[in-house]
């Protein structure tokens, strides 16, 4: 089927199809979900559970370990990670990329049902699709009091937040989950006097049993005459009447609960708090659905915030504000890419006009840009992809590439018109003569992207949008070049001057190249010199590798490692108030660099930190240094860790810049000693870096351990469980039952009055059946000891992790090399027998990704060689074309080295993909030169004359297509801004590789072609062109 002939025969149909494509492309542009990057994540499922007021060891042994054993062998699981704190535990299952997560969720739930039953007051396990705390949020919100509201504790408004705010946010289209992070469970607390209860002869078990038995019960149904009655026993007390419950008798006198206790309907004890710019706040996070448009979602969230702030929250003296808005960085980054895209189009068209010197010819060629980009956008929509920085960068890269085919077709049409052909014949024959070479060029470009499209893992998720966008755009440009361009040229080109204003330059260039390669020695020297220099430059200047691009935000995180054992009130007084006071001058603007806003949170000594937003994004590093050296300096016994926020979020790996050293073994104290050795080595050999231990490197969480005296307990007529109930009641409270008021369900807690010293705890009275009232010290031996405040398990084994963050200017590869040489050996020597040390996280992911990239690079090279061998019907000519590869790679490496003189640009995964893309781009010019040379040789010219003719005929389109591509991509490389770091390395490699290739290909290939004998076989490219000419 001759597409050009069909287009020229049916112009109306072509115009209608083009308009429809543009229309649907515009619709797709507005309907595509908007994100900062593609979803870079391994699928995860998290199971959250806990046990009220339980120590980490009890949570691990009674709750987590049985659940972990039940679900860790779920099909497709590649990693099991567990984090345990006081009263809380989370198990995260990581699956292979591409796993059926709907089936995986069902499998996890089914396996969870096989776990042993949990204690009555344990938190029921919750299964959530996602990585829990590791999953980035779309938005963070904080609710705080308005000026003039004297209520300081925002928790008093929790009912309003649950009844009004939570439903309103949950109804927003695209919201996956609304997390009320500051939520505290309601409790019905029964505070009793243990001395008075013992004096009246009431034991803990008796009190608890009476309260527990006060429940409603259904008696069933009874027929009375013609009516049927429901019989109910109304045994439940209301919170107001609970004190009137008779819990025992003293002689003939009833003992009421009010005689020994009081009740309170309130919230569980505070375990943490959040501050927004120094004020108490209620913290809410929002996670989006996988297919949600982040920008549209945040627009709806802002509308909901405005509505609530003007309504229910304002009436209650509250206000809600966004603490983190993911759309801000997305908008800024996408705006920059769009401006670069527009600037690239203008530069490419301006350069095109310089060559064409006719606005009609330039406009006709420019038609391929909107058509190709529209089809690419439609494809993204149909494939369920998103509009992100990488897919937009792909569109920007495509601007220059899609002009290539149109330029070559237009050039040929103008040449034929100058030879006297009419408009129709010139359009038909001009497209037919070059369609074979264009098809080969398009096929090689697209073939390069095939391995990328089928890459697995995070790298596949990251690159597929780019590969898809470029492949579709290039294919579309070929179709547009052989249909729309000839049609427009026939009816609109008119009498465009065909004289080339640079013809003398091409003649002089041809003479210069022929002079440089006019002897066998010169040819051999150029070939060997260029190839040898390319290899040496590539080996000597190649930068160190990184996992992900560095895409910093306008703020940074901070976290504290506090002395173990500090309670929430202590942290508030000694840390939070001090941090607020020290940050206030920078927040108010009295000192510079000023702070736009900040958050502070704490959920205990091992979970305290926050985020600081800089007023001037260019001063973030300066502000970080000031906060580290001045604001947070001098806080006693406290370690501070700072790290820059990033727009890149790797599931389970943060910004892709951290390295995990996992120490595993049964002896936690010995692991901590080995980890201390590692921290010291990191501080010595990675100055400016940090090593944060998880959990903390000491078992200094203060504990009061009560060792049972079995003989005394037995003689008193008790057992261990009964004594344990007394201990629970004397501390955080004994769970008795649940109370349901028709709307909410809450725990009923039996709790003694507060004690303040270990001696007071030991003196607490126990009523025993056989020994009367005895102090707790008579039944137990009290020891003051220490234990862990946090536990971590990976793969079912206790683990201590060192999270190492390299210095800002150091690549991940260099950091790993130093770790393996200087840090790991002393740590391994310090490990106890039976323990192990594993390097994991981003380090292992980077190594596997690099291996995958090398395999795909080799595969792309092989595909390219086979495809060109088939097209040329000559392995020799295919190998000739591939000779330009070393030049392009050297150009990309030199460009990276040049950029590194001004900023940090490591060889991250996106930059690596630039070298694969180069394979498909730089061979296009080589294909044109080799094909034209072989055509001349078949026409009877000598090798030298055929090469001279190929340079004269193809130099203009080669340089036009190369320069338009370069100028189209140049803004992506040079213009800084939000998110530019994500694609800057990729653009640098392509610009550098194409530049060097364009400069030296016209020397290398003529030298090689003149060294060889003319090809004997007929090229299919020439055959296709001849066939097209005959039909014309």
User: Over 90: is that where the pLDDT of 358 sits?
Assistant: no
User: Over 50: is that where the pLDDT of 1029 sits?
Assistant: no
Strand partners, 123: 50
User: Over 50: is that where the pLDDT of 1027 sits?
Assistant: no
Task: For residue 626, give its domain range.
Answer: 559-646
d(CA 269, CA 52): 11
* Torsion over CA: 275, 281, 282, 285 (sign): negative
User: Over 80: is that where the pLDDT of 197 sits?
Assistant: yes
Residue 339 in domain: no
Q: Where are the alpha helices (DSSP H) in 517-641?
A: 520-541, 568-571, 577-588, 620-626
d(CA 203, CA 211): 13
Q: Are residues 9 and 96 in the same domain?
A: no
Pair 496, 889: CB distance under 8 Å: no
| Number of domains the chain contains | 5
d(CA 696, CA 638): 12
Intra-chain end-to-end CA distance of the chain, in Å:
14
What are the b/e assignments for 145-177, b being 16+ CB within 10 Å?
beeeeeeeebbebbebbeebbbebbeebebbbe
Residue 652 in domain: no
Write the pLDDT tens digit of every residue in 737-758. 988 888 888 899 999 988 889 9
pTM tops 0.75, yes or no: yes
Angle at 604 between CA 635 and CA 166, to 5 degrees: 125
Name the residue among 399, 408, 372, 363 with its Cα closest to residue 959. 408
Residue 521 in domain: yes
Task: For the chain, state the CA radius of gyration.
Answer: 37
Residue 860 in domain: no
Kindly state the average pLDDT of the residues 527-548: 90
Q: Are residues 487 and 374 in the same domain?
A: yes
Q: Are residues 173 and 317 in the same domain?
A: yes
Question: Of 124-133, 211-220, 260-269, which range is least confident?
Answer: 124-133
Per DSSP, which regions of 10-96 are E strands? Answer: 44-51, 77-85, 88-95
Name the residue among 884, 1008, 954 with its Cα closest to residue 433. 954
User: Over 50: is that where the pLDDT of 633 sits?
Assistant: yes
d(CA 736, CA 237): 14
Residue 669 in domain: no
Write the pLDDT tens digit of every residue in 988-1009. 999 999 899 888 888 888 988 8
Locate 202 and state its tokens.
């009431």
Q: At 977, is the pLDDT very low, low, confident or very high (cuts 50, 70, 90)? A: confident
d(CA 298, CA 169): 11
Q: Are residues 506 and 574 in the same domain?
A: no
Question: Of 111-115, 251-255, 349-353, which range is least confident?
Answer: 349-353
Locate tokens 């989006």: which residue? 288
d(CA 147, CA 311): 17
User: Over 90: is that where the pLDDT of 365 sits?
Assistant: no
Q: Are residues 83 and 147 in the same domain?
A: yes
Task: Please report, for the domain that includes residue 747, its CATH number.
Answer: 3.30.2090.10
Pair 444, 867: CB distance under 8 Å: yes
Higher pLDDT: 359 or 473? It is: 473
Three-class DSSP category at 255? strand
| Other Cβ atoms closer than 10 A to 847 | 15
Q: Are residues 213 and 70 in the same domain?
A: no
Pair 265, 239: CB distance under 8 Å: yes
d(CA 95, CA 76): 5
Residue 492 in domain: yes
Locate tokens 């300081």: which residue? 152
Q: Is 201 left (phi over 0), alpha (psi -120 to 50) or beta?
A: left
Write the pLDDT tens digit of every residue in 667-721. 888 898 999 999 999 999 998 888 888 887 777 678 899 999 999 999 999 999 9
Percent of the chain with pLDDT over 70: 95
Q: Are residues 287 and 238 in the same domain?
A: no
- The domain boundary, picked from 499, 524, 551, lies at 499
Kindly state the average pLDDT of the residues 278-284: 89
d(CA 635, CA 545): 37
Three-class DSSP category at 556? strand
Q: At 734, is the pLDDT very low, low, confident or very high (cuts 50, 70, 90)? A: very high
- The domain boundary, picked from 623, 646, 669, lies at 646
Q: Are residues 163 and 301 in the same domain?
A: yes
Q: Are residues 97 and 77 in the same domain?
A: yes
Strand partners, 285: 140, 179
Helix H, strand E, coil C: the string for 104-138 is HHHHHHHHHCCCCCCCCCEEEEEEEECCHHHCCCC
Residue 553 in domain: no
Write the pLDDT tens digit of every residue in 299-338. 899 999 999 999 999 999 999 998 888 778 778 888 888 8
Question: Of 181-195, 275-289, 440-454, 547-561, which range is least confident?
Answer: 440-454
Q: Are residues 128 and 256 in the same domain?
A: no
Question: Of 120-134, 513-527, 1013-1027, which range is least confident?
Answer: 1013-1027
Q: Are residues 241 and 259 in the same domain?
A: yes
Q: At 443, is the pLDDT very low, low, confident or very high (cuts 50, 70, 90)? A: confident
Strand partners, 93: 45, 80
Q: Quick one: pLDDT at residue 20?
A: 95
Kindly state the average pLDDT of the residues 772-782: 93
Q: Mean pLDDT score of the chain, rounded to an integer?
A: 85
Q: Are residues 486 and 509 in the same domain?
A: no
Kindly state the average pLDDT of the residues 545-549: 83
Residue 930 in domain: yes
């Amino acid at each position: 089927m001759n597409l050009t002939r069909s287009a020229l025969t049916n112009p109306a149909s072509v115009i209608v199809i083009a308009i429809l494509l543009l229309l649907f492309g515009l619709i797709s542009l507005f309907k595509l979900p908007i994100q900062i990057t593609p979803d870079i994540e391994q699928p995860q499922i998290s199971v959250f559970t806990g046990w009220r007021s339980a120590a980490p060891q009890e949570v691990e042994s009674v709750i987590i370990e049985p659940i972990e054993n039940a679900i860790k062998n779920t099909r497709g699981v590649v990693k099991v990670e567990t984090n345990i704190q006081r009263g809380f535990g989370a198990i995260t299952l990581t699956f292979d990329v591409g796993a059926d997560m709907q089936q995986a969720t069902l499998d996890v739930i089914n396996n969870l049902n096989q776990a042993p039953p949990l204690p009555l007051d344990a938190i029921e396990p919750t299964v959530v699709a996602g990585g829990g705390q590791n999953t980035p949020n779309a938005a963070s919100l904080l609710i705080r009091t308005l000026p003039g509201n004297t209520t300081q504790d925002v928790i008093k408004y929790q009912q309003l937040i649950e009844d009004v705010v939570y439903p309103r946010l949950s109804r927003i289209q695209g919201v996956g989950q609304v997390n009320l992070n500051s939520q505290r469970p309601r409790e019905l607390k029964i505070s009793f006097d243990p001395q008075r209860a013992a004096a009246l002869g009431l034991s803990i078990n008796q009190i608890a049993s009476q309260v527990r038995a006060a429940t409603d019960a259904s008696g069933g149904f009874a027929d009375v005459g013609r009516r049927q009655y429901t019989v109910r026993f109304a045994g439940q007390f209301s919170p107001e009447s609970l004190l009137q419950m008779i819990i025992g008798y003293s002689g003939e006198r009833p003992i009421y609960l009010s005689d020994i206790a009081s009740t309170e309907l309130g919230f569980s004890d505070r375990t943490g708090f959040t501050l927004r710019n120094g004020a108490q706040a209620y913290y809410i996070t929002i996670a989006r659905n996988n297919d949600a448009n982040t920008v549209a979602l945040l627009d709806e969230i802002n509308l909901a915030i405005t509505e609530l702030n003007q309504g229910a929250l304002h009436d209650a003296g509250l206000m809600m504000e966004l603490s983190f808005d993911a759309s801000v960085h997305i908008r800024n980054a996408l705006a920059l890419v769009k401006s670069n895209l527009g600037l690239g189009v203008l530069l490419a068209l301006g350069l095109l006009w310089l060559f064409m010197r006719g606005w009609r010819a330039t406009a006709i060629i420019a038609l391929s840009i909107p058509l190709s980009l529209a089809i690419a956008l439609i494809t993204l929509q149909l494939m369920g992809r998103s509009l992100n920085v990488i897919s937009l960068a792909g569109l920007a890269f495509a601007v220059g590439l899609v002009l290539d085919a149109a330029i070559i077709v237009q050039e040929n049409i103008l040449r034929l018109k100058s030879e006297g052909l009419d408009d129709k014949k010139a359009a038909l024959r001009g497209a037919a003569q070059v369609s074979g070479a264009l098809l080969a060029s398009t096929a090689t470009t697209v073939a390069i992207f095939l391995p990328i499209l089928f890459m697995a893992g995070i790298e596949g998720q990251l690159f597929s949008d780019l590969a898809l966008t470029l492949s579709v755009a290039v294919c579309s440009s070929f179709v547009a070049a052989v249909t729309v361009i000839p049609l427009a040229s026939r009816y609109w080109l008119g009498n465009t001057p065909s004289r080339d204003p640079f013809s003398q330059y091409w003649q002089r260039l041809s003479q210069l190249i022929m002079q440089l390669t006019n002897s066998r020695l010169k040819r051999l020297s150029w070939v060997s010199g260029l190839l040898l220099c390319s290899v040496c430059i590539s080996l000597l200047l190649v930068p160190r590798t990184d996992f992900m691009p560095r895409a910093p935000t306008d703020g940074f995180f901070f976290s504290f490692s506090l002395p173990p054992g500090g309670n929430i009130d202590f942290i508030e007084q000694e840390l939070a108030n001090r941090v607020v006071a020290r940050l206030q001058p920078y927040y108010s603007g009295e000192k510079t660099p000023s702070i736009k806003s900040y958050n502070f949170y704490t959920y205990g000594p091992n979970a305290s930190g926050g985020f600081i937003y800089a007023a001037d994004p260019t001063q973030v590093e300066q502000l970080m240094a000031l906060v580290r050296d001045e604001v947070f300096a001098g806080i006693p016994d406290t370690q501070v860790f700072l790290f820059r926020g990033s727009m890149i979020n790797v599931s389970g790996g943060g910004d892709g810049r951290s390295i995990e050293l996992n120490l595993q073994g049964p002896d936690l104290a010995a692991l901590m000693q080995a980890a201390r050795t590692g921290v010291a080595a990191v501080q010595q050999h990675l100055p400016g870096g940090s090593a944060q231990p998880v959990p903390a490197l000491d078992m200094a969480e203060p504990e009061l351990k009560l060792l049972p005296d079995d003989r005394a307990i037995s003689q008193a007529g008790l057992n261990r469980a009964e004594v344990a109930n007394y201990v629970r009641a004397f501390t955080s409270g004994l769970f008795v039952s649940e109370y349901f008021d028709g709307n909410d369900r809450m725990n009923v807690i039996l709790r003694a009055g507060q004690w303040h010293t270990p001696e007071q705890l030991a003196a607490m009275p126990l009523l025993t059946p056989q020994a009367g009232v005895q102090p707790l010290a008579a039944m137990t031996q009290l020891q003051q000891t220490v234990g862990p405040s946090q536990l971590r398990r990976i793969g079912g084994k206790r683990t201590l992790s060192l999270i190492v963050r390299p210095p800002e200017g150091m690549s991940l590869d260099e950091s790993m090399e130093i770790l393996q040489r200087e840090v790991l050996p002393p740590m391994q020597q310090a490990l106890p027998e039976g323990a192990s040390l594993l390097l994991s996280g981003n380090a292992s992911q980077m190594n596997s990704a690099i291996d995958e990239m090398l395999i795909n690079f080799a595969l792309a090279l092989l595909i390219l060689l086979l495809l060109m061998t088939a097209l040329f019907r000559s392995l020799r000519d295919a190998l000739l074309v591939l000779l330009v590869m070393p030049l392009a790679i050297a150009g990309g490496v030199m460009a990276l080295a040049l950029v590194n003189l001004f900023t940090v640009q490591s060889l991250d995964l996106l930059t690596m993909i630039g070298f694969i893309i180069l394979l498909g781009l730089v061979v296009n010019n080589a294909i044109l030169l080799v094909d034209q040379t072989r055509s001349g040789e078949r026409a009877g010219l000598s090798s030298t004359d055929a090469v001279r003719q190929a340079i004269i005929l193809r130099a203009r389109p080669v340089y036009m297509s190369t320069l338009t591509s370069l100028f189209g991509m140049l803004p992506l490389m040079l213009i800084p801004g939000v998110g530019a770091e994500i694609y800057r390395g990729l653009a640098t490699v392509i610009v550098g590789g194409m530049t060097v290739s364009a400069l030296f290909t016209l020397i290398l290939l003529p030298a090689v072609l003149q060294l060889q004998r003319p090809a004997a076989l007929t090229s299919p490219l020439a055959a296709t062109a001849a066939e097209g000419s005959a039909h014309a």
